[in-house]
Chain A
Amino acid sequence: MTLTAEQQAIVRAEGDLYIRACPGAGKTRTLIELAVRATEGAPRHGVAFLSFTNAAAGEVRARLTRRAPRLLRPPSFVGTFDSFLIRYVLGPDGLERAPGLRVQFRESWGHDLDFRIAQCAVPLDAFAPHQGKVFLRPGLVRSRYAVHAKLRTLDERIIDDLERAAERNIRRLMAQGIVTSPFLRSDALRRIRKRSPAHLAARFRVVIVDEAQDCDPGDLEIVSALRKAGCRCVVVADPEQGIFGFRGADPRKLDELGLAGMVLSGNFRSSKSICAAAASLRARDGDPDSAMRADSVDRPVVVLPYEKLDERIGSRFMALLPGASVDAMVVAHAEEHARAAIGRAKGPKDSAAAGAVIARALENPSPTDWQAARRLLEASLRRALGSERDNDLDSRLERWVTVSAAQVLGCAAAMQEGRPCARVRNALDNLRPPRGLQFVGKRTEWFTCRDVPGENASQASSPDPRDEVELPLGFSTVHSAKGHEYGAVLVVIPMSGRLGELLEAWDVRDVAHEGRAVLYVAATRARDLLAFAVPEAVADSVVSLLERQGAQVEVRAEGKCPSNHADVQQRE
Chain B
Amino acid sequence: MLEYHRPMHLRELRLRNFRSCADTTVRFDELLTVLVGENDAGKTNVVEAIRLVTAPSDGRRIRYVGLDDVRLNASGLELSTTYSGLDDTQRGLFFSALPSNRATEAIWTYRWDLPSDVERRRAPRWTVGPKGLPEQEPEVRDFIRHVHLPALRDADRDLASSSPGRIEFLLRQLLLNEEAAREELLACARDASDQLLAQPPLVRARDTVRTTLQPLVAGFREPQAHLRFAEPTLVGLARDLRFSLTQQGIDPSKLARTGLGYANLLYLASVLVELDAADDAELTLLLVEEPEAHLHPQLQNAVLTWLQERAEQTAKRTPAPGAHAGRIQVVVTTHSPNLAAAMSIKHVVVLRPVETSDVVTEGQEGPDAEPRPDGASFDAPEPSAPVVGAEPSDDSAAPVAEPSTLAAAEPSNTAAIAIAELGLDEATRRKIDRYLDVTKASLLFSYRVLLVEGIAEALLIPAFARCVLDKRESDRLRAATILPIEGVDFEPYVRLLLASTSAAKACIADKVVVLTDEDPTNASNEDEPSDEASDGEAADGEVGVTEADAAPVSAKPSTAPRPAGQRRAEALHRLAKKLGADERLHVAVTPCTLEVSLLSDPDPARAAEASAVLRRAFAACVTRGKRRFDAWPKRIDSLPPADRGAELLQWMKETKTRKGDFAQTLAGQIEEDLKLDKRFPVPQHIADALRSLVTS
* B280 & A75 in contact (Cβ 8 Å cutoff): no
Is there a chain A Cβ closer than 8 Å to B93's Cβ? yes
Is there a chain A Cβ closer than 8 Å to B385's Cβ? yes
Query: Which single member of A42, A44, A73 contacts B325 (CB below 8 Å)?
Result: A44
How many angstroms from the CA of A100 to the CA of B96 in the assembled complex? 11
Return chain B residues, CB-CB under 8 Å to A42: 321-323
Provided the pairs A87-B95, A88-B95 are in contact, do residues A45 and B89 lie with their beta carbons within 8 angstroms? yes
How many angstroms from the CA of A74 to the CA of B139 in the assembled complex? 6
* A202 & B323 in contact (Cβ 8 Å cutoff): no
Closest chain-B Cβ to A468's Cβ sits at a distance in Å of 45
Is there a chain B Cβ closer than 8 Å to A102's Cβ? yes
Provided the pairs A91-B101, A102-B384, A176-B388 are in contact, do residues A199 and B96 lie with their beta carbons within 8 angstroms? no
Closest chain-B Cβ to A88's Cβ sits at a distance in Å of 6
How many angstroms from the CA of A147 to the CA of B638 in the assembled complex? 121
Is there a chain A Cβ closer than 8 Å to B324's Cβ? yes
Closest chain-A Cβ to B441's Cβ sits at a distance in Å of 45
Return chain A residues, CB-CB under 8 Å to B1: 198, 202
* A43 & B280 in contact (Cβ 8 Å cutoff): yes
Provided the pairs A102-B387, A203-B92 are in contact, do residues A44 and B324 lie with their beta carbons within 8 angstroms? yes
How many angstroms from the CA of A16 to the CA of B137 in the assembled complex? 27
* B95 & A91 in contact (Cβ 8 Å cutoff): yes
* B140 & A198 in contact (Cβ 8 Å cutoff): no
Is there a chain B Cβ closer than 8 Å to A242's Cβ? no
Return chain B residues, CB-CB under 8 Å to A198: 1, 88, 91
Residue in chain A with minimal CB distance to B133: A102
* A195 & B324 in contact (Cβ 8 Å cutoff): no
Is there a chain B Cβ closer than 8 Å to A447's Cβ? no
Residue interface bits B323-344, CB-to-A below 8 A is 1, else 0 = 1110000000000000000000
Is there a chain A Cβ closer than 8 Å to B221's Cβ? no
Is there a chain B Cβ closer than 8 Å to A506's Cβ? no
Is there a chain B Cβ closer than 8 Å to A204's Cβ? yes
Residue in chain B with minimal CB distance to A72: B139
Provided the pairs A43-B322, A102-B134, A202-B1 are in contact, do residues A87 and B96 lie with their beta carbons within 8 angstroms? yes
Is there a chain B Cβ closer than 8 Å to A104's Cβ? yes
Residue in chain B with minimal CB distance to A191: B101
Return chain B residues, CB-CB under 8 Å to A202: 1, 87-89, 91-92
Is there a chain B Cβ closer than 8 Å to A474's Cβ? no
Is there a chain B Cβ closer than 8 Å to A200's Cβ? yes
Query: Which single member of A39, A74, A101, A197 contacts B385 (CB below 8 Å)?
Result: A101
How many angstroms from the CA of A230 to the CA of B491 in the assembled complex? 55
Query: Which single member of A73, A92, A101 contacts B95 (CB below 8 Å)?
Result: A92
Provided the pairs A91-B95, A177-B385 are in contact, do residues A203 and B101 lie with their beta carbons within 8 angstroms? no
Number of contacting residues on A, CB 8 A?
32
How many angstroms from the CA of A42 to the CA of B325 in the assembled complex? 11
Return chain A residues, CB-CB under 8 Å to B164: none
Interface centre among B100, B102, B139, B322 (most CB of A within 10 A): B322
Closest chain-B Cβ to A113's Cβ sits at a distance in Å of 18
Is there a chain A Cβ closer than 8 Å to B683's Cβ? no
Is there a chain B Cβ closer than 8 Å to A132's Cβ? no
Is there a chain A Cβ closer than 8 Å to B454's Cβ? no
How many angstroms from the CA of A42 to the CA of B323 in the assembled complex? 5
* B388 & A75 in contact (Cβ 8 Å cutoff): no
Interface residues on B, range: 35 or more
Is there a chain B Cβ closer than 8 Å to A41's Cβ? yes
Q: For chain A residues 153-204, which have a beta carbon within 8 Å of chain B?
A: 176-178, 191, 195, 197-204
Query: Which single member of A93, A100, A178, A200 contacts B92 (CB below 8 Å)?
Result: A200
Q: Is the interface of B mostly helix, strand, loop or mixed?
A: loop
* A199 & B91 in contact (Cβ 8 Å cutoff): yes
Residue interface bits B114-137, CB-to-A below 8 A is 1, else 0 = 000000000000001101011011
* B321 & A199 in contact (Cβ 8 Å cutoff): no
How many angstroms from the CA of A512 to the CA of B247 in the assembled complex? 87
* B387 & A104 in contact (Cβ 8 Å cutoff): yes
* A100 & B385 in contact (Cβ 8 Å cutoff): yes
* B129 & A92 in contact (Cβ 8 Å cutoff): yes
Is there a chain A Cβ closer than 8 Å to B666's Cβ? no
* A93 & B101 in contact (Cβ 8 Å cutoff): yes
Residue interface bits A402-438, CB-to-B below 8 A is 1, else 0 = 0000000000000000000000000000000000000
* A203 & B323 in contact (Cβ 8 Å cutoff): no
Interface centre among A73, A102, A191 (most CB of B within 10 A): A102
Return chain B residues, CB-CB under 8 Å to A101: 385-387
Residue in chain A with minimal CB distance to B129: A92
How many angstroms from the CA of A102 to the CA of B388 in the assembled complex? 11
Return chain A residues, CB-CB under 8 Å to B136: 87
Query: Which single member of B92, B98, B384, B387 contacts A75 (CB below 8 Å)?
Result: B92
Residue interface bits A369-399, CB-to-B below 8 A is 1, else 0 = 0000000000000000000000000000000
Closest chain-A Cβ to B321's Cβ sits at a distance in Å of 7
How many angstroms from the CA of A199 to the CA of B87 in the assembled complex? 8
Interface centre among A74, A92, A203 (most CB of B within 10 A): A92
Return chain B residues, CB-CB under 8 Å to A104: 387
How many angstroms from the CA of A98 to the CA of B131 in the assembled complex? 14
Query: Which single member of A92, A102, A197 contacts B99 (CB below 8 Å)?
Result: A92
Query: Which single member of B100, B134, B139, B140 contacts A93 (CB below 8 Å)?
Result: B100
* A92 & B101 in contact (Cβ 8 Å cutoff): yes
How many angstroms from the CA of A195 to the CA of B100 in the assembled complex? 13
Residue in chain A with minimal CB distance to B95: A91
Residue in chain A with minimal CB distance to B389: A176
Residue in chain B with minimal CB distance to A45: B322
Return chain B residues, CB-CB under 8 Å to A91: 95-96, 98, 101
Residue in chain A with minimal CB distance to B103: A92
Provided the pairs A74-B139, A199-B88 are in contact, do residues A43 and B386 lie with their beta carbons within 8 angstroms? no
Closest chain-A Cβ to B353's Cβ sits at a distance in Å of 37
* B131 & A100 in contact (Cβ 8 Å cutoff): yes
* A74 & B101 in contact (Cβ 8 Å cutoff): no
Return chain A residues, CB-CB under 8 Å to B103: 92
How many angstroms from the CA of A202 to the CA of B100 in the assembled complex? 17
Return chain A residues, CB-CB under 8 Å to B325: 44
Closest chain-B Cβ to A242's Cβ sits at a distance in Å of 32
How many angstroms from the CA of A397 to the CA of B419 in the assembled complex? 73
Return chain A residues, CB-CB under 8 Å to B137: 74, 87
How many angstroms from the CA of A43 to the CA of B139 in the assembled complex? 14
* A92 & B388 in contact (Cβ 8 Å cutoff): no
Query: Which single member of B91, B93, B131, B134 contacts A74 (CB below 8 Å)?
Result: B93
Residue interface bits A93-134, CB-to-B below 8 A is 1, else 0 = 100001011101000000000000000000000000000000
Residue in chain B with minimal CB distance to A43: B324
Q: For chain A residues 36-82, which have a beta carbon within 8 Å of chain B?
A: 39, 41-45, 73-75
Residue interface bits B176-214, CB-to-A below 8 A is 1, else 0 = 000000000000000000000000000000000000000
Return chain B residues, CB-CB under 8 Å to A88: 92, 95
B-side residues, CB < 8 A to A, are 1, 87-89, 91-93, 95-103, 128-129, 131, 133-134, 136-137, 139-140, 280, 282, 321-325, 384-388
19 contacts between A and B (CB under 8 A): A39-B322, A41-B323, A43-B280, A73-B139, A74-B93, A74-B139, A87-B137, A92-B96, A98-B385, A102-B134, A176-B386, A176-B387, A178-B388, A195-B102, A198-B1, A198-B88, A200-B92, A202-B88, A202-B89
Complex A-B, nearest 10 residue pairs according to Cβ-Cβ distance, in ascending order: A42-B322, A203-B92, A199-B92, A202-B88, A101-B385, A199-B91, A202-B89, A176-B388, A93-B101, A102-B385
